[in-house]
């Protein structure tokens, strides 16, 4: 039971980090292509 909770926590944590990283990378690519800030 504890291992499942730890596993769920790890998945959630890494999922959040991956989402943040993808958002930042997308913003960088957008700025290079269009030379403006990405839409909100």
What pLDDT, in 10s, does the model give residues 1-40? Answer: 999 999 999 999 999 999 999 999 999 999 999 999 999 8
Residue 6: per-residue pLDDT: 97
Residue 13: per-residue pLDDT: 98
Question: Do 26 and 37 contact (CB within 8 A), yes or no?
Answer: no
- The domain total for the chain is 1
> What's the number of CA atoms in the CB half-sphere (13 Å) around residue 27?
10
The boundaries of the domain holding residue 31 are 1-40
């Amino acid at each position: 039971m504890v291992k499942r909770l730890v596993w769920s926590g790890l998945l959630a944590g890494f999922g959040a980090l991956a989402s943040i990283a993808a958002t930042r990378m997308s913003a960088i690519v957008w700025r290079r292509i269009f030379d403006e800030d990405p839409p909100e």
